[in-house]
Amino acid sequence: MISREQAEFRVSRFNTAARPRFWPVRDEETVARPSAGDTLPDWTICIGAIARHRDKKQFALLFDHFAPRLKSYFIRLAVDNGTAEELVQEAMLSVWRKADYFDPARASVSTWIFTIARNLRIDIARRERDPHRLAEAFEPIPEPMPDECVTTFEREARIRTAIGILPSEQANIIRLHFFEDRSHAEIAGMLDLPLGTVKSRVRLAMGKIRALVEDLQ
């Protein structure tokens, strides 16, 4: 979560023609710190400090926030506790190694970390069979086109808003669909709903998210 001022600053920064490709140089004092209130550090700045200074304190902050969520993500994919811990370590080590390549014009930090975890997930089945081939993680890295960069920040903000305003049963279905690897039929069984209702709720929820984001473009 970032403040409105930070959001506006970033929006204006990304809209300028001379948008920095990766990291704007910033003063040390702008590096993220946990604040006294309920706002979290700006993770973009936090990753920047890791990229530029190999800053372990910032990494620990990032770990405290994301590692338990990543563990929750992997547990939902029905891996055991030990494997989930190991996947969390691997995902966060990737974050440390790849911090230089994080591009705020392409995705928010949480989306970037999600795709790292997602790519590890794709390899889970393979590593179970052949545990020594850890190094070859699935990692397609399509580059963004200049015109799709401009609205990344706004787009992600809209996605968050959209998810925030979904009726709870739609938000719940989206979460089950995205994170628990449930088919529509399984979700229908779990929630004791007809299959058609589940399908239409997924479609509705996704349509709402898309409508809010497209509204922006």
Partner 1 sequence: MIRHHPAAEILVDYARGALDRGASLVVACHLDVCEICRSETRLWEGVGGALLEKLDPAPLDANALARIMTRLDDQQPHRPTREVGLPAYLNRYSIPRALKHESVASRRWVTPGIWFAPIVAKEKTGRRTYLIYASRGTVMPEHQHGGGEFTFVLHGAFSDPSGTYGKGDFAETDERAVHAPAVTQESGCLCLISSDAPMALKSWPARTIQRLLGTPY
153-172: contacts with partner 1 (CB under 8 A): 155-156, 159-160, 163
- Nearer to partner 1 among residue 115 and residue 197 (C-beta): 115
Binding span for partner 1 by CB under 8 A among 5-13, 15-23, 68-76, 187-195: 68-76
Which of 143, 135, 94, 96 is CA-nearest to residue 117? 94
200 in contact with partner 1 (CB under 8 A): no
Rg from Cα positions in the chain? 19
According to CB under 8 A, which one of 83, 175, 193, 204 is a site residue for partner 1?
A: 175
86-145: contacts with partner 1 (CB under 8 A): 88-89, 92-94, 96-98, 100-101, 106-108, 110-115, 117-119, 121-123, 125-126, 128-129, 136, 138-142, 144-145
64 in contact with partner 1 (CB under 8 A): yes
Nearest-approach distance from CB 151 to partner 1, in angstroms: 10
67 in contact with partner 1 (CB under 8 A): yes
